[in-house]
Structure 1
């Protein structure tokens, strides 16, 4: 493969998470706000397309540069963020299905391309899990390894939605593969945070660790989209994800308090990083999992759980909306600050 050399615009490899987070909101939680959905949904979907073109253009150019690609693929954890590229395209295609059904052929073409990208990602996942489980056991892992599950489950959801209902055994096989990736990732995280003690919650608990529940949420969405596994299994699975969401976000809350005490409000929680979008994605994904499970007659649930889910959706829709507005605000703040600093540097250089 010919690799490029020379100058290019650098972009965070995990920037696909921006499309994942905003897209999953337009697929799920936006329905709780009819004005946003009905009146502005198509405009928001178009803005998402523009953002996708800008981000993926830069990601594509960067990918084929030697000084980026080789170190990126050699890092056994960071290269898992290719999963955000795959899930980003999958989510965008589902947004197109909802708001622009008339461009189905284009959406299907994107789905086919995304599937080929997933095959490349699959080989990358197998190789990296081998590295981390056997060759580099003490490598500092974080929740990005669970993007193996996210990327895999997003593909089976995409194929079932964009083309047709695939045979149950095929969907089950892909979902089970995603679950195996999840178990391997959890084993690595367990080794990092339980067996090793030289880490602190404020500094070493990564934003991407919220994918601990997010990867299961997209697995649940894959199950209720493809009608695989039994209603009882889906019920217990939902309860498991709900429990993990509460536990992990409680840890995140304690972490936020510790960071504020240690670094102050600005550095503690108001500083932007691209990995923060993973939280928005996981919040939106659990909402969508619950919403589709509620809407699918193949998965009836007991009356008490049904009431819990309905009440939860009412409140969680606001959590998802506020979280995404918050993230967009600190993203814009970071961009304005960066542009201002660039102008200052140019001004001083000119003098």
Structure 2
């Protein structure tokens, strides 16, 4: 579902806002909806095969990852509503289901927050906790797109709840890395999902713009916070990259696929979209924002293409390994 989120924000936030290629947007929207259906079916299969708890629930930290289901469903709902207006009723039906999923997810996360402390798992936390904010704010975007009139109090409620989740999650994550800095190494223990530290703020700002629930001054404050955290996190990422190249070499440090890398595509796309739609408060910010947009319009799609290529390479390698195992068992007459 993180891939659905990434492709969705680039389709709606980057390509739609900047290029406006309607046919390409429709094609990508259909692809994204197909991916969403496929992943949803996979989740259902895990449930019916009684593997759901083992895969998604047994580890309290991994439970936060269910937030990608909510956010991925939200972006699909938005794409359906915008790209295929004749399917508006389908978008509403999916949104009803998504609100229910979000409510269950929040209850699961509240329990997980308590378990992190009781089971002493705080030393393993990372940016996945911030999916509580991402999923909550994604519903504000759904409401502003799918429904014509939403009470401002409802928008304020979801925005405030999302910010509360952000403050709690960010506190736990920062505490992990700063309380005992000698107990972890940046090349091994700094997670890709930590980029959600700025991505969660970006989607909060975007939700504020779309819902018209926050003043321009408030939106600029959110953007400044997101930009500062973006700079800090990405400086850490560059330093981490240098360390990983020294430890593992170029191929293993960069050209290796990991599921969590989709979070980087999503957060970069979200920061670009938020920046593009933000009205600058004064000239200095305006210059900075224009530079971000100029660079980001090419960097973000390129990042998506790179991630797709890494996934394709990974998929081919896994297929070849499985084929070799199959041929080996066949030659030895081992039951398959």
| Shorter-chain TM-score range | over 0.9
Q: Distance in 1 between matches of 2:281 and 2:205?
A: 14
Are residues 31 and 68 of structure 1, via their aligned partners in 2, closer, same or farther at CA, if it must alter by over 3 Å? closer
Q: Distance in 2 between matches of 1:346 and 1:71?
A: 25
Q: Distance in 2 between matches of 1:249 and 1:310?
A: 19
Q: Return the offset for 1:314.
A: 2.0
Of residues 125, 131, 145, the one that matches 2:109 is: 125
Alignment of 1:109-258 (within 5 A): 109-133=93-117, 136=120, 138-196=122-180, 197-258=182-243
CA-based RMSD: 1.8
Alignment of 1:296-311 (within 5 A): 301-311=281-291
Q: Return the offset for 1:137.
A: 5.6
Q: Return the offset for 1:226.
A: 1.0
Q: Distance in 2 between matches of 1:67 and 1:254?
A: 38
Q: Return the offset for 1:164.
A: 2.4
Question: Deviations for 1:280-304, whole angstroms, at most 9, x for unmatched residues?
Answer: 000111112223334xxxxx73344
Q: Is the 8 A contact 2:16 2:25 kept in 1?
A: no
Q: Is the 8 A contact 1:165 1:226 kept in 2?
A: no
Question: Deviations for 1:243-263, whole angstroms, at most 9, x for unmatched residues?
Answer: 111110111111111111111
Q: Distance in 2 between matches of 1:134 and 1:234?
A: 37
Of residues 13, 29, 48, the one that matches 1:45 is: 29
Q: Distance in 2 between matches of 1:304 and 1:177?
A: 32
Q: Is the 8 A contact 1:132 1:139 kept in 2?
A: no
| Aligned counterpart, 2:63 | 79
Q: Return the offset for 1:310.
A: 3.1
Q: Is the 8 A contact 1:32 1:317 kept in 2?
A: no
Q: Is the 8 A contact 1:87 1:154 kept in 2?
A: yes
Gaps of 5+ in 1: 1-15, 295-299
| Aligned counterpart, 1:330 | 310
| Aligned counterpart, 1:68 | 52
| Aligned counterpart, 1:289 | 274
Question: Deviations for 1:53-79, whole angstroms, at most 9, x for unmatched residues?
Answer: 112211221134434315632322100
Secondary structure of the structure 2 residue equivalent to 1:28? helix
| Aligned counterpart, 2:3 | 18
Q: Is the 8 A contact 1:225 1:292 kept in 2?
A: no
Moved over 6 A (4+): none
| Aligned counterpart, 1:34 | 19
Q: Is the 8 A contact 1:97 1:107 kept in 2?
A: yes
Q: Return the offset for 1:206.
A: 0.5
Are residues 41 and 67 of structure 1, via their aligned partners in 2, closer, same or farther at CA, if it must alter by over 3 Å? closer
Q: Distance in 1 between matches of 2:48 and 2:289?
A: 45
How many residues were matched structurally?
A: 330
Q: Distance in 2 between matches of 1:180 and 1:342?
A: 45
Secondary structure of the structure 2 residue equivalent to 1:228? coil
| Aligned counterpart, 1:297 | none
Are residues 67 and 57 of structure 1, via their aligned partners in 2, closer, same or farther at CA, if it must alter by over 3 Å? closer
Q: Is the 8 A contact 2:220 2:278 kept in 1?
A: no
| Aligned counterpart, 1:276 | 261
Gaps of 5+ in 2: 332-336
Alignment of 1:253-264 (within 5 A): 253-264=238-249
| Aligned counterpart, 1:318 | 298
TM-score by length of 2: 0.93
